């Protein structure tokens, strides 16, 4: 512990020195809390593409379309410029309150559909409905599929639209660079993009702006305006690197040091949790102890948040691939929900990957505030309200296996490894299992799914909803 505190103080001195020299990771998007908000990413991307907003967007639209032309095989989208853009919309209404994330309407009845999947799960018949909606605009035009380019934008470069999104009931399918309907009729050109592609486009936009300043193409009285544009683009690029493309290298040396190893995390927890009376601190100078404890307390909220984010990222990586638990194959995804008190991650059986109106799932939840609550819940998800599916759940509120019922959910938060009377119980668990989270979490998930209450209701649901699988 003595060596840990000495090193912590040294790292902190270096960090404070560089901060005084001007080092900073301040970011307006992060300050506004929109770094994870899919719709805000869509709005900002659309704002940059829209040449009719008169804030250098013509430059950015040209860079976007030029880059797009190099990637697509759709001939009518290869040599576009900003002058081809008629309108750019976000959340363009289709039908039944369905909305296209970004719709770029070009002249001569050409359309670019951008489905932005940053964190949200695919919705039933999503792409199918969008393409059918656009095709209605040119239903009397032969080979109208050549006038539609559907882009699936995802943070994972390997992700593709699910059957759920393309529709399994007479659904669409993707073959190479085209989307076909259930009768093999060509419906649209298709292009898969990821957020590294978006970052490369932002970099190109920054380069264009910087060259204009360097080559004195900007009037002196407007140079500050251009610098603001460059600054904003760099801010967004940083957000992509920090939260989307996993390219961020943190410059907060203190935070990095505190969480760089299991040993450092345990020492950090001890400093936060205990007083000088603890035997671990007996050889530590009192002033150094006070300073180290002050540093840890200042960084504690960030440590908690980063550990939880790391945990969710690990969950996402593990469950993007199917995982077999208790003889059932599962997928998982983080829910992008505006929950004040809880974060949430959902798992669902692989057999419900396709187009379904009803499916069961297991949710992981914990309190955001003091991270002093953690649990799992088994529930039914319905695209439309249907009371009959509540019959899957038992009437009794308390079960012998510590499962409690609330409405159409079964809850389980009686894990012996957590002390819920203490603040930061979930964070302490993360620290104790640092580097081994997924192994330990799989045990927790298996324990939950092996409960008779859950096994029985899952079997009943599978027999009812998926009798042939």
Give per-residue pLDDT as tens, 129-151: 899 999 888 777 888 999 999 99
- Pinpoint the alpha helices (H) of 157-285: 163-166, 195-214, 223-243, 253-259, 262-273
- pTM higher than 0.85 for the full model? no
Could you give the angle at which helices 195-214 and 57-71 cross, rounded to 10 degrees?
A: 130
State both tokens at 377: 């819940």
Dihedral pair phi/psi, residue 115, rounded to 5°:
-95, 110
The pLDDT score that the predictor gives to residue 364 is 87
Mean pLDDT, residues 253-281 taken together: 88
Write the pLDDT tens digit of every residue in 398-453. Answer: 566 778 877 778 888 777 777 777 889 899 999 999 989 999 998 989 989 998 88
The pLDDT score that the predictor gives to residue 265 is 94
| Cβ-contact 110, 147 below 8 angstroms | yes
Report CA-CA distances (Å) from 159 to 25, 90, 162, 163.
Answer: 30, 22, 9, 12
Bridge partners (DSSP) listed for residue 193: 153
Non-local (6+) Cβ contacts of 328 within 8 A are: 349, 350, 449, 458
Quick one: DSSP state of residue 122? Answer: P
* Residue 107 to residue 141: CA distance in whole angstroms: 15
Helix (H) or strand (E) holding 442: helix 437-449
The pLDDT score that the predictor gives to residue 223 is 85
CA torsion 130→133→134→135, rounded to 10°?
120
Write the pLDDT tens digit of every residue in 7-64. Answer: 999 988 888 887 777 767 788 888 888 888 889 999 999 999 999 876 678 999 999 9
| Cβ-contact 200, 148 below 8 angstroms | no
Quick one: DSSP state of residue 387? Answer: G
The pLDDT score that the predictor gives to residue 146 is 93
Non-local (6+) Cβ contacts of 157 within 8 A are: 194, 196
The pLDDT score that the predictor gives to residue 280 is 82
The pLDDT score that the predictor gives to residue 131 is 92
Residue where the block lists tokens 């249907």: 386
Extract the runs of DSSP E, i.e. beta strands, from 301-449. 323-325, 328-334, 342-349, 358-367, 374-382, 404-406, 409-412
- The fraction of the chain above a pLDDT of 90, given in percent, is 37
* Residue 67 to residue 251: CA distance in whole angstroms: 31
The pLDDT score that the predictor gives to residue 417 is 78
* Residue 65 to residue 74: CA distance in whole angstroms: 12
| Cβ-contact 126, 96 below 8 angstroms | no
């Amino acid at each position: 512990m003595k060596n840990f505190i000495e090193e912590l103080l040294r790292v902190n001195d270096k960090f404070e020195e560089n901060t005084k020299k001007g080092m900073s990771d301040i970011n307006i998007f992060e300050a506004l809390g929109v770094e994870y908000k899919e719709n805000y990413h869509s709005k900002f991307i659309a704002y940059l593409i829209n040449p009719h907003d008169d804030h250098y967007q013509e430059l950015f639209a040209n860079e976007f379309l030029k880059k797009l032309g190099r990637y697509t095989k759709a001939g009518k989208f290869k040599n576009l410029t900003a002058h081809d853009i008629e309108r750019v919309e976000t959340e363009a209404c289709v039908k039944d309150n369905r909305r296209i994330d970004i719709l770029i309407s070009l002249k001569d009845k050409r359309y670019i559909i951008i489905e932005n999947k940053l964190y949200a799960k695919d919705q039933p018949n999503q792409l199918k409905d969008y393409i059918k909606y656009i095709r209605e605009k040119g239903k009397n035009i032969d080979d109208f599929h050549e006038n539609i380019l559907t882009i699936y934008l995802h943070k994972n470069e390997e992700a593709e639209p699910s059957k759920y999104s393309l529709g399994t009931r007479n659904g669409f399918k993707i073959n190479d660079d085209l989307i076909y309907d259930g009768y093999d009729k060509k419906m649209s050109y298709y292009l898969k993009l990821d957020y590294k592609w978006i970052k490369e486009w932002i970099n190109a936009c920054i380069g264009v702006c910087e060259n204009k300043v360097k080559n004195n193409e900007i009037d002196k009285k407007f140079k500050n305006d251009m610098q603001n544009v460059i600054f904003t683009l760099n801010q967004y690029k940083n957000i992509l690197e920090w939260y989307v493309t996993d390219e961020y290298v943190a410059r907060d040396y203190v935070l990095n040091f505190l969480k760089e190893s299991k040993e450092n995390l345990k020492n950090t927890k001890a400093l936060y949790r205990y007083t000088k009376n603890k035997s671990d601190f007996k050889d530590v100078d009192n002033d150094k102890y006070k300073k180290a404890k002050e540093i840890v307390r200042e960084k504690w909220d960030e440590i908690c948040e980063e550990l939880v984010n790391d945990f969710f990222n690990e969950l996402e990586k593990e469950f993007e691939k199917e995982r077999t638990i208790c003889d059932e194959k599962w997928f998982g995804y983080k829910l992008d929900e505006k929950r004040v008190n809880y974060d949430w991650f959902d798992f669902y059986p692989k057999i419900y990957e396709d187009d379904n109106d009803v499916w069961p799932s297991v949710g992981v939840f914990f309190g955001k505030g003091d991270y002093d609550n953690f649990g799992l819940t088994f529930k039914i998800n319905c695209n439309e309200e249907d009371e009959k599916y509540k019959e899957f759940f038992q009437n009794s509120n308390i079960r012998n296996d510590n499962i409690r019922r609330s409405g159409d959910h079964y809850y389980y938060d009686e894990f012996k490894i957590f002390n819920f009377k203490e603040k930061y119980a979930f964070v302490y668990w993360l620290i104790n299992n640092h580097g081994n989270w997924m192994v330990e979490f799989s045990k927790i998930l298996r324990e939950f799914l092996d409960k008779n209450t859950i096994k029985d209701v899952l079997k009943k649901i599978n027999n009812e909803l998926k009798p042939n699988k």
